[in-house]
Amino acid sequence: MKVLAGDIGGTNSRLALCDVAGPRVTVVAEKFYPSASFSSLSEVVRTFLATYGAGEVRSACFGLPGPVRGRLVKPTNLPWLVDADEIERELGLDAVYLINDLEANAYGLAVLDPAAVRVIKPGTAIPNGNAALIAAGTGLGEAGLAWDGNRRRPFATEGGHADFAPADAFEDELLGFLRVKFSGHVSWERVVSGPGLAAIHEFLRHRGGEALPEWALCPASELPGRIAAHARDGSDPVATEALERFFALYGAEAGNLALKLLAIGGVYLGGGIAPKLADAFADSRFVERFVAKGRMRALLEDIPVYLVLDDRAGLWGSANYAATRRLAHG
């Protein structure tokens, strides 16, 4: 079955024509578009189809950042209102489905190549237990996979927007700095995301009375990557500390999610940042902070953590969802 799949982010929108046969998803045509360059998702899709055509496609699914309410989504970090009924009418499709982007990634886990998943913290996964997915990128996405007695069913959350909780004096200071910067509420997304890494770096420079180096005077979208690069080559001690703090906070919130969902089936790390830093997890404080949950430490020590290396997981999940729903409804 051929479907149109989309993995929509605050930075990029990735669209693909896919052929779905059972658990196998094959990309026929694929294209990235800068999300901010378009006024709507419909415009992105029309641009894609003008190049590649719809062919035999009758259904589509788009994973979007933000809560899905019925057939509508107002994506986080994008000035769009996405209406599934409107897209169906405009594109002449029989069925358009909208799901949360992390929910799409969770559906993608079922069709991933096993080689695309790396263990970064061993443990004992309980096959009939819940699992969790957390993904830092432009924002921080979180989703669950609930065991229903037969299989794991993905569901969306907006947990990345829950209150950031500091665990030490340094993080107390960081929270105070971010409260001023963001005029009040500080969520986990403000520290565990690309912009979050940039915010930690900014705080460290402010705290140490250091001006931004020349390499950091760049567009905001490029700064997290530059910080990570200078951290990893050891050329900037402040960048190195910023990345170390980022990994620690990522581990802390991943552990929080594991507790909230009782994710004894494992925790998966997705998104755009983790695969690029895959080799750095072993030397980071991620695992240390993941298990540092007081009386629940033993539980966390038993939960495995997996790194999803395939950044197409959201695309695979959207294609899988569109085909599965289409078959279910004839």
CATH number reported for the structural domain that contains residue 236 in this entry: 3.40.367.20
Q: What is the pLDDT of residue 96?
A: 95
pLDDT above 90: residue 327: no
Q: Among 216-220, 224-228, 265-269, 320-324, where is mean pLDDT lowest?
A: 320-324
Q: What is the pLDDT of residue 48?
A: 94
Q: What is the pLDDT of residue 178?
A: 98
Whether 286 is covered by a domain: the verdict is: yes
Whether 109 is covered by a domain: the verdict is: no
Q: Are residues 149 and 258 in the same domain?
A: yes
Which amino acid, residue 46? R
Q: Are residues 317 and 277 in the same domain?
A: no
Q: 74-83 burial by CB neighbour count: b if 16+ within 10 A, else e?
A: ebbbbebebb
Q: Are residues 94 and 120 in the same domain?
A: no
CATH no. for residue 90? Answer: 3.30.420.40
**Residue-by-residue DSSP string for 156-174:** E--GGGSBP---SHHHHHH
Whether 95 is covered by a domain: the verdict is: yes
Q: Which strands form 72-73's sheet, in the order they lie side by side? A: 68-69, 72-73, 82-83
What is the tens place of the pLDDT at every residue in 137-180? 989 999 999 999 999 999 999 999 999 999 999 999 999 999 99
Q: What is the pLDDT of residue 9?
A: 87
What is the span of the domain harbouring residue 24? 2-104+312-328
Q: What is the pLDDT of residue 24?
A: 82
pLDDT band at 58 (very low <50, low <70, confident <90, very high): confident
Query: In whole numbers, what is the pLDDT of the chain averaged over residues?
Result: 94
CA dihedral 84, 85, 88, 90 (to 10 degrees): -110
What is the tens place of the pLDDT at every residue in 89-124? 988 889 999 999 999 999 999 888 889 999 999 999
Beta strands in the chain (DSSP E): 2-8, 12-21, 24-34, 59-64, 68-69, 72-73, 82-83, 95-100, 117-121, 131-136, 140-147, 152-156, 267-270, 305-308
Number of neighbouring beta carbons within 10 Å of residue 241: 16
Q: Are residues 142 and 283 in the same domain?
A: yes
Burial class (CB in 10 A: 0-12, 13-18, 19+), 199: buried
Q: Are residues 287 and 139 in the same domain?
A: yes
**Residue-by-residue DSSP string for 21-90:** ETTEEEEEEEEEEEGGG-S-HHHHHHHHHHHH--TT--EEEEEESS-EETTEE--TTS---EEHHHHHHH
| Dist CA 97 CA 21 (whole Å) | 19
Q: Are residues 226 and 270 in the same domain?
A: yes
| Dist CA 81 CA 75 (whole Å) | 7
Question: What is the arithmetic mean of pLDDT over 58-66?
Answer: 93
Whether 254 is covered by a domain: the verdict is: yes
Q: Which strands form 59-64's sheet, in the order they lie side by side? A: 24-34, 12-21, 2-8, 59-64, 95-100
pLDDT above 80: residue 55: no
Return the closest-CA partner of residue 257 out of 265, 100, 150: 265
Sole residue written with tokens 């997915």: 133
What is the tens place of the pLDDT at every residue in 208-253? 999 999 999 999 989 999 999 999 999 999 999 999 999 999 999 9
Number of neighbouring beta carbons within 10 Å of residue 220: 9
Whether 52 is covered by a domain: the verdict is: yes
Dihedral over Cα of 183, 177, 199, 257: its sign: negative
pLDDT band at 298 (very low <50, low <70, confident <90, very high): very high
pLDDT above 70: residue 329: no
pLDDT band at 268 (very low <50, low <70, confident <90, very high): very high
Number of neighbouring beta carbons within 10 Å of residue 293: 17
Q: Are residues 201 and 159 in the same domain?
A: yes
Q: What is the pLDDT of residue 330?
A: 54
Q: What is the pLDDT of residue 111?
A: 86
Higher pLDDT, 221 or 287: 287
Structure token pair of residue 292: 């540092």
Q: Are residues 30 and 149 in the same domain?
A: no
Whether 171 is covered by a domain: the verdict is: yes
Contact 18, 25 (CB under 8 A): yes
Q: Are residues 124 and 155 in the same domain?
A: yes
Q: Are residues 11 and 123 in the same domain?
A: no
pLDDT band at 10 (very low <50, low <70, confident <90, very high): confident
Q: 158-189 burial by CB neighbour count: b if 16+ within 10 A, else e?
A: bbbbbebebeeeebeebbebbeeeeeeebbbb
Whether 143 is covered by a domain: the verdict is: yes
Collect all residues with Cβ–Cβ distance below 8 Å to 121 and sequence separation of at least 6: 286, 287, 290, 303, 304, 305
Q: Are residues 182 and 85 in the same domain?
A: no
Q: Are residues 165 and 292 in the same domain?
A: yes
Domain count, the chain: 2
pLDDT band at 77 (very low <50, low <70, confident <90, very high): confident
| Dist CA 110 CA 313 (whole Å) | 9
